[in-house]
Structure formats: C-alpha cells, structure tokens
Amino acid sequence: MDDSLRKLKQEVLEANLELVQQGLVVSTFGNASGITRDRKFVVIKPSGVDYSALTSEDLVVTDLEGNIVEGTLHPSSDLPTHLVIYRSFPKVGGVAHTHSRFATSWAQAGLEIPCFGTTHADYFHGPVPITESMQPHEIENGYERNTGNVIVRRFAELDPTEFPSVLVSGHGPFSWGASAREAARTAVLLEEIARIALYTIHLNPEAASISPALLDKHFLRKHGPQAYYGQK
Amino acid sequence: MDDSLRKLKQEVLEANLELVQQGLVVSTFGNASGITRDRKFVVIKPSGVDYSALTSEDLVVTDLEGNIVEGTLHPSSDLPTHLVIYRSFPKVGGVAHTHSRFATSWAQAGLEIPCFGTTHADYFHGPVPITESMQPHEIENGYERNTGNVIVRRFAELDPTEFPSVLVSGHGPFSWGASAREAARTAVLLEEIARIALYTIHLNPEAASISPALLDKHFLRKHGPQAYYGQK
Amino acid sequence: MDDSLRKLKQEVLEANLELVQQGLVVSTFGNASGITRDRKFVVIKPSGVDYSALTSEDLVVTDLEGNIVEGTLHPSSDLPTHLVIYRSFPKVGGVAHTHSRFATSWAQAGLEIPCFGTTHADYFHGPVPITESMQPHEIENGYERNTGNVIVRRFAELDPTEFPSVLVSGHGPFSWGASAREAARTAVLLEEIARIALYTIHLNPEAASISPALLDKHFLRKHGPQAYYGQK
Amino acid sequence: MDDSLRKLKQEVLEANLELVQQGLVVSTFGNASGITRDRKFVVIKPSGVDYSALTSEDLVVTDLEGNIVEGTLHPSSDLPTHLVIYRSFPKVGGVAHTHSRFATSWAQAGLEIPCFGTTHADYFHGPVPITESMQPHEIENGYERNTGNVIVRRFAELDPTEFPSVLVSGHGPFSWGASAREAARTAVLLEEIARIALYTIHLNPEAASISPALLDKHFLRKHGPQAYYGQK
C-alpha cells in the first residue's frame, strides 16, 4: 500500500473518531472522508459499522466515480454525496457528515443559521447556508448523488472556503476543509455555533446579525492574507 | 436452566444496563424485557432494584400470564404492560420502557412526534404515535394491563415493525424490536429523535414534516426488501 | 463520640457528596443535613467549604437552637432554615438544599411545578409548591430563619410527607425525607421532574396536568399502606 | 526568573485549564491572564494554542503596553482588551475571557442578564451589564483595544468589584477578580447564572427581578465588611 494512502487512512480514522469523542454521533450516524493530493482516491468510513470497533483496515478506498479500489466492506451510503463535493470543490481535502443535534435541528427547521456573533464569524463569512428541499424525482433516483448536487447548487454564488459547512434541508450538516481533520473540526465548531444561535433566538427572537464590519474583522483576522490570529 | 433462557437473561441484563449507560434512566425508572423464541417465557427486570447492583440472577422469568417461573424477586410493576405487547405483537422479541427526558416530555405534552427529518425517518415510517389518555376506570383496575391495552388500541391501523415505539400519554415511551437489545437501541434512538424534534419546533414552530418521498426513501433504504444501508 | 452520631455524620457526608456526583451543585452552593433519632442534634455541612475536600470531621453538630456542640468550622449559613424545618416537620430526618439548575429556574420564575406526568406523581402528590416572596422585614432580620418560616407557612394545609420538596421563590429548592440519604435522593428526582416539566411546557404551553385518578394511582402505588412497587 | 512571576505563571496556567475543565471552552477560544502585584507585568495565554498541550513555559509575559518581556509565542490576540481592563480597574488582578455557551448567547441576544435569583445576587450586585455595539471605526482600527474601551465606558457608573463580569455585545463575556483564579471562578459562576436565567425566562417571559432587599442581603452577606458567609 502506498505510504500517503496509509497516512490518509489514519487521518480519516482519527477524523471519524473525533466526531464520536466530541459527541456529534448517535448510533452509527455520521461519516468522515479524505481525498489524496492527486485527487484520484477517496478514503471513507464503511456503512453502518459501529465506531467503537472501527480500524483503519475497515476503511474503504474508492476512485472519484465510487468504484472500490481497496476494502472488503460497503462504503458509507453517503459516499456519492462526498464524491460530488470533491469533484465540485477542488480545494476541499476532507468531508464530514453528522446528524449532530443542534445543526440538524436548524436543518430540520429549514433555516439558515444567522451570524449572531463573533464565534460564528471566526469560521463563516456570513450565515451558514441551507439547501432547498429536494424534489421527489431527485430523491427517488440517485438520492445520495443528488444530495451532493443540491449542495453544489446552493454554492453557485458562494465560496466553499468562506462557508465550510452547509445544512441539507430536512437532513443535517455536511462540513469540509483542507483535510479530513479540518472537516471534523469544522463539524464540531458548527455544532457549537448552531447551539448558541438557538439559545440566542430563544432569548431574543428579534436578535440581529452582527455588523458587516464586525463580521469581516473576525473572519479576516483568522483567514486570508491579513490573518493575525494564532502562531505563524 | 435451559441454555437459550440463560442467553436471554444475559441479553436482557445487557439491555437494561444499556439504558443506564446511555443516560435514559434516572433513579430506578425503566425496564427492559425479552421473550423466548417459542414465546412461552418472558425475562424482565425486578421492581425497584438499583441498576448498579443488578445481576442476571435477579431477573425474573414469567409465563405469558405473568406467573413467576423463576426468580425470588418481584418482577417490574410494568410487567403486565410488556405481556400485552408480547401477546398482541407477535414479531416483537423485546420491550424497553424508560422515562427518558425528551421522549417523556413529548408524552407529557400529549403530542405525537412529527417526522421533521431523515434521522427520524431512518427508524419510524411516520410520526411517533401517542396513545389517548387513560380513563379513570382503566387506571383504577388493572392499570398496568390497561396501559398495554391503550397501546394496542393505538396500533389498530399501524404496523408495530414500522413504528417501533409509542408514547403513553402523560407517562412515557415504550419501545420494542426483534430482541431486547434492539428494543433498548430503539429507546436510545427515540430519545435522540425526540430531542432534536423539540429543538426543531423551538427554532421554527411552523416546521414542516419531510415529504413522503424523503420519508419513504430513508425508511426503506434501512428496512425491508429494498434496504441497502449497512453491511450484508 | 456517640456511635449513632458517627453514623449520622457518615450519612450526611455521603448525602452531600451525592448532590455533587449527581451534578446538582455548582461552586460551593448546596448543603445536606440530618437529625438524630431523639431529635436533639443536627449534623450539617460547614459554610463555603469546597466539596472535594470535605470529610466527616468537617461537619458541624448543633442542637436544635443552632448552638454548636461539635466541630471547629462555621455551619452552613442556611442552618437556621434547616432547624425550622426539623422543628416544624417531626417526620423529617434529613434536609437537602441545592441551587440545581431546573428546580432553581422554576423558583426564579415564581411558579409551582405542575404535575404533568407519572414521573412526578411517583414522588409528589400534586404540584411542587412554591413559597410566597419574602417581605423586606423578613429578609433584613433573621433572613435564614424566616426562609424556614415562609416554607412552613406554605405547608399550613399540605403534608410534608406527600410533598417532600418546596421551591423558595427567587431562591431555590429545599427537599427532605426520612433521612439525609432520602433527602438527597429527593433533590435529584425533583431536578429531573423540574427538567422534564420545563421541556413539556416548551412543547405545549397549554399542557394539562394528569388526571386525579392517574395522580393517585402512581403516588399511592409507591407510598402508603397500598403500595405495591419495589421489593418488600 | 523572578519567583513571584513563576507563581503567577503557574496560577495563570491553572486558571486557563480551569476554564477547560469546567466546559467553558470550545476549540481554542478563551484565555485567562494575571498581573503582578506591582502592576508592571501581565502573564497571558498564547494565541490559538491547544489547551491540552499548554505549559507554563508557553505563557507570554508583557508589560502594560503589550511589549513582550518573556516568551517565544504570540500572546492571545485579546491581550489589548486585557491591558485596558488592568489599566482602568486598579483592583483587578486577573481577567478571563470565554465564549461559554449561555453567557455568549446573552451577549449575542444583546441583553443584560436580569437578577432573577439569589444565585445571581451572591456574585453580582444587580444585572450583568452589556456593552453597546461597537462602531465600524472602532472595529476597523485597534479593535481589541477598543473592545477594552467599550467595556470601560460601560463601567462609567458601575463598580467593577460589584459587577465582576461584562458581556461584550455580539461577542461574549469578560470576567475578572482579585486574581486569575478568581477571574476563572467568576467566569464559571457567570455561565451558571446565564444558564438558569435563560431557563427562567423560558418558563416565565414576565419573570421579575428579585427585590432590592433580597439582592442586598445576598450580595452583602458574601461581600464587604458585613459578610458572614463561609469561614473566616
């Protein structure tokens, strides 16, 4: 086995376990994947396998069409969604999908998450977007691939590096990043942002989004050429 | 002791402990049971015993009329409810009853749980049903048996394999499955579904149920002859 | 030291630690006490001491007037409240006071907790009562003793064995029982009842109390001469 | 290294870890600092460093102008806010900033926290104040220093020893005390107060603040010359 693929498997395993450790997973819901640098192979969690027993040997390797290259288990049934994201968003190196409580509740409520504060602005350059509802013909044929398509349509005028998560209406969040590790971390932060946003509208149903100046300040002090947060 | 009965006791013990480990139990509330394959004997938790000290020796074995066959302790006071479920739903192999927070809150609110998302649709083929309130004469005589009867009445036109839980109005949830283990797992998933449904109506009191197409897609990709989720 | 006093100290220590283990305590808030069988001596937690370092040696023994009989630390500042309860409710053997989140929130909201379900009815024979607000002159002189008095006034027509907790308006709950252990257990159950009652009115602001028949059934199957729950 | 500075570093390290252990921190959000007795040097957490790996060697020492005196890492980007607080509030020996869930939600909702009960009154002599929103010119230039200035403006007529926390509108809480340890403890208590205040208005949107008599009683039995809570 190729050495970079071995490392990717280890990283994807750790990203999946991170989702569990952070309390984002109930039962077998949720999955994280990563793509090789040459964008030829994707490593993903197998379908419906208990996290407590998961090893990097169980992970499934496929090409970008979903053909299995390595592994004896079925890949996550959400694989086609991940593949559409990798094909459409060339800077994305990892994807994480969960049914985490608060982000899923916003998805079920059919609402984007407004940017109520700087915690949110540190990671998203505006509201967390939500897809439109899927049509019956999109659901009945090629459902998981069409879930990817409805995400990509939502990003027609959005930059996925400025909005590293999306809520699929009536379903739950997909998050991404430069790597599987970053995707899992974004999933954790999204859950926290979704949680405090729920509490915020609980306290004040008329709560306002922060000003464009404050949004830009926080997003841009962490991201892009003017960033000055953290260590070099 | 018969070997299959020994295995059933072990499984019922583990199902009871699973309820505790998953945080569904406060104090001594809650109980799980299982029935032998020949549907002659039921194994159930004793009444009011602390879970931390529970062993498979403490479990009580009864026949389908509730006569004690093995065990020196009183069976759970909810035994008659379990027995009605076993007698009426021939595919049910295990039953779990809890006072888990979120499912109990829906039961106390007197509301069925609408199907707001795919997490719910993966396990229930529609809203989680709720019973009607029990009448004084049903409460005063044969209360626990009548709790079973009010559940069975609610399923006059529902298939218990498509709706593996019910909320007893003003009381709490009963869940079931092919085995005690599956019943306990369903109790855990129900609690999660109840929780995110509460958050959903919190965010959007007008939240809509998902479309019939999406409901069918998720329920049927996990259940029945067309299922393709998980490993074979 | 008298042997029964040594046992009482151990039980009071464990009751205080139970409050912490069950998550009812933040910082140094909360205290449990117990009274000897002859109702001459009360054992209580010292004031403002960190629970993690608490030993049975730190506990303070007083008489029913609050005079210190044993111990080198100041008793809990709530001691006078405990003493009024012991003097007025002769069947009470232990008292627990916490600022647990959900019960305190009902106290702050100025509302009794309606009996929305059987979990509640298993422990309280009706709504959890709340005191009236204290008057300035009651607060300015003898505040802690008057806290006891406002509790006792609320029970003019209530039996403390049927209602083993009270909410002090704008403050928090006091719970009691036959022993310090039982008082602490009641505090834990009250918190759970307060929590699911909040979720219930969240789901349905018009939620109804359960029927008198169901209330009596559940309270009386656990308490009094007709009880049949648990082991003999 | 000066011995008192070594002790201060150890205390600041422990204060930062306390924030994590108490669940106030998600990701790398949050920071605690302390100032030497002669008010010449400030010790603060480095920017964007993972708490699990933090040692007292990583802490950064600066003067009151923010010039680095010791340490090889960048200080927390919030350092200028801490410095304004130290320069303006001479009795403050430690500062803690978090994005803790409930306090942040009040900040995002743009609301001060009313004093609904005695838990709150034990630590704050009235509502927890909130700053006004910052203006674009305050955000674009010297943002972190101006965050300090908007806090200080809010305290024009408040005593920081009677109100040991503030909510920065749209951002989150800053807390302080005589030491870094006390600042972290206040941050923990503020979060609890913010949490039960949210539950309180959830139960009763018309909930009233406690009376001035009860507010004074609780605040003054813990603070100032008449205090009688705790040990001497």
Euclidean distance between CA atoms D137 and D100, whole angstroms: 27
Tell me, what amino acid is at C54? L
Cβ contacts of residue D188 below 8 Å, gap of 6+? C26, C27, D18, D19, D22, D24
Q: Is A230 in Cβ contact with D101 (below 8 Å)?
A: no
Q: Is B133 in Cβ contact with C228 (below 8 Å)?
A: no
With cut-offs at 50, 70 and 90, classify the pLDDT of residue C232. Answer: low
Q: Pairing between strand B41-44 and C60-63?
A: unpaired
- Residue-level pLDDT at D127: 98
For an interface test with D, the pick among C59, C73, C108, C191 (most D C-beta atoms closer than 10 Å) comes out as C108
pLDDT averaged over chain D?
94
With cut-offs at 50, 70 and 90, classify the pLDDT of residue C132. Answer: very high
- Residue-level pLDDT at A85: 98
Q: Establish if A94 belongs to a structural domain.
A: yes
Q: Establish if B33 belongs to a structural domain.
A: yes
For chain A, state the CA radius of gyration. Answer: 17
CB atoms within 10 A of CB D139: 21
pLDDT by residue (tens digit) across D178-219? 999 999 999 999 999 999 999 999 999 999 999 999 999 999
Residues of D with CB under 8 A from a CB of A: 26-29, 46-49, 73-74, 77, 99, 101-102, 104-111, 133-134, 136, 139-140, 143, 170-172, 198, 201-202
DSSP label at residue B57: G
Residue that wins the pLDDT comparison between D40 and D232? D40
- Say what percent of chain A tops pLDDT 90: 86
Euclidean distance between CA atoms A229 and A101, whole angstroms: 29
What domain count does chain C have?
A: 1
pLDDT averaged over chain A?
94
Query: Contact at 8 Å (CB) between C162 and C125?
Result: yes
User: Tokens 């998902």 sit at which residue?
Assistant: B210
Within 8 A of B102 by CB-CB distance, chain C residues are 199
CATH number of the domain residue C56 falls in:
3.40.225.10
Q: Establish if D231 belongs to a structural domain.
A: no
The secondary structure element, H or E, covering residue B60 is strand B60-63
* Separation in Å, CA of C14 to nearest CA in chain D: 21
Euclidean distance between CA atoms C35 and C46, whole angstroms: 15
- Residue-level pLDDT at D147: 98
Query: Contact at 8 Å (CB) between D16 and D28?
Result: no
Tell me, what amino acid is at A122? D
- Residue-level pLDDT at D1: 56
Q: What is the mean pLDDT of residues A171-189?
A: 97
C184 lies in which domain range? 3-223
Q: Pairing between strand B68-70 and A172-177?
A: unpaired
pLDDT by residue (tens digit) across A69-126? 999 999 999 999 999 999 999 999 999 999 999 999 999 999 999 999 999 999 999 9
- Kindly give the confidence (pLDDT) of every residue in chain B, 232 residues in length, as a single tens digit, with 9 standing for 90 and above: 578 899 999 999 999 999 999 989 876 688 999 999 999 999 999 988 888 889 999 999 999 999 999 999 999 999 999 999 999 999 999 999 999 999 999 999 999 999 999 999 999 999 999 999 999 999 999 999 999 999 999 999 999 999 999 999 999 999 999 999 999 999 999 999 999 999 999 999 999 999 999 999 999 988 877 777 677 6
The secondary structure of D40-86 as a DSSP string is -EEEEPBTT--GGG--GGG-EEEETT--EEE-SSPBPTTHHHHHHHH
Please count the residue pairs, one from chain B and one from chain C, whose beta carbons lie less than 8 angstroms apart: 88
Quote the strand ranges of chain C, DSSP E.
31-35, 41-44, 60-63, 68-70, 94-97, 165-168, 172-177
Query: Contact at 8 Å (CB) between C172 and C107?
Result: yes
**Quick one: tokens of C56?**
């049975």
Q: Is A217 in Cβ contact with D139 (below 8 Å)?
A: yes
With cut-offs at 50, 70 and 90, classify the pLDDT of residue A228. Answer: confident
ipTM field:
0.94
pLDDT by residue (tens digit) across D107-145? 999 999 999 999 999 999 999 999 999 999 999 999 999
Q: Which pTM was predicted?
A: 0.95
Q: Establish if A232 belongs to a structural domain.
A: no
Residue of chain D whose alpha carbon sits nearest to that of A198: D105
Chain D neighbors (3+ CB pairs < 8 Å):
A, C
With CA atoms as reference, report the closest residue to B69 among B42, B96, B87: B42
Chain A neighbors (3+ CB pairs < 8 Å):
B, D
- Say what percent of chain A tops pLDDT 70: 97
C195 closest CB neighbour out of B27, B101, B143: B101
- Residue-level pLDDT at B232: 61
Within 8 A of A106 by CB-CB distance, chain B residues are 203
Within 8 A of B108 by CB-CB distance, chain C residues are 116-117, 196-197, 200, 207
Query: Contact at 8 Å (CB) between C77 and C97?
Result: no
C86: helix, strand or coil: helix
Euclidean distance between CA atoms D3 and D7, whole angstroms: 6
Residue A1 has pLDDT above 60, yes or no: no
For an interface test with A, the pick among D29, D51, D108, D198 (most A C-beta atoms closer than 10 Å) comes out as D108
Q: For the purposes of burial, counting CB atoms within 10 Å of the CB of A226, is it exposed (0-12), middle (13-18) or buried (19 or more)? A: exposed
Beta bridge partners of C175: C96, C165
The secondary structure element, H or E, covering residue D95 is strand D94-97
Residues of D with CB under 8 A from a CB of C: 116-119, 185, 188-189, 192, 195-197, 199-204, 207-208, 210-211, 213-214, 217, 221, 228-232
**Quick one: tokens of C46?**
């010292």
D111 closest CB neighbour out of A195, A203, A232: A203
Query: Contact at 8 Å (CB) between D190 and D103?
Result: yes
With CA atoms as reference, report the closest residue to A64 among A44, A48, A91, A50: A44
A32: helix, strand or coil: strand
Query: Contact at 8 Å (CB) between A67 and A56?
Result: no
Residue A8 has pLDDT above 90, yes or no: yes
Within 8 A of B46 by CB-CB distance, chain C residues are 231
C134 closest CB neighbour out of D196, D214, D232: D214
Q: Establish if A230 belongs to a structural domain.
A: no
pLDDT by residue (tens digit) across D49-99? 888 889 999 999 999 999 999 999 999 999 999 999 999 999 999 999 999
Chain C neighbors (3+ CB pairs < 8 Å):
B, D
- Say what percent of chain C tops pLDDT 70: 97
Say what angle helices B101-109 and C180-203 make with each other, to 10 degrees: 60
**Phi, psi of A44, rounded to the nearest 5 degrees:** -145, 155
Q: Is B192 in Cβ contact with A111 (below 8 Å)?
A: no
Euclidean distance between CA atoms D187 and B224, whole angstroms: 52
C47 closest CB neighbour out of D192, D203, D231: D231
* Separation in Å, CA of D114 to nearest CA in chain C: 11
pLDDT by residue (tens digit) across A114-161? 999 999 999 999 999 999 999 999 999 999 999 999 999 999 999 999
* Separation in Å, CA of D203 to nearest CA in chain C: 6
Query: Contact at 8 Å (CB) between C186 and C194?
Result: no
B207 closest CB neighbour out of A49, A102, A109: A109
* Separation in Å, CA of D181 to nearest CA in chain C: 13
Planar angle of CA B33, B191, C203, nearest 5 degrees: 130
Query: Contact at 8 Å (CB) between C187 and C199?
Result: no
* Separation in Å, CA of D220 to nearest CA in chain C: 11
For an interface test with A, the pick among B21, B118, B123, B195 (most A C-beta atoms closer than 10 Å) comes out as B118
Euclidean distance between CA atoms B189 and D4, whole angstroms: 54
Q: Establish if B231 belongs to a structural domain.
A: no
Which entry of B2, B159, B199, B229 is annotated as an active-site residue? Answer: B229
* Separation in Å, CA of A230 to nearest CA in chain B: 34
CB atoms within 10 A of CB A91: 10
Beta bridge partners of A31: A97
Query: Contact at 8 Å (CB) between D132 and D166?
Result: no
Active site (annotated) includes residue D143: no
Q: What is the mean pLDDT of residues C187-211?
A: 97
Cβ contacts of residue B222 below 8 Å, gap of 6+? B122, B123, B229, B230
C104 closest CB neighbour out of D196, D202, D228: D196
Q: What is the mean pLDDT of residues A15-26?
A: 90
- From A29-33, C144-148, C200-204, D224-228, the region with the lowest mean pLDDT: D224-228
- Residue-level pLDDT at D53: 85
Active site (annotated) includes residue D86: no
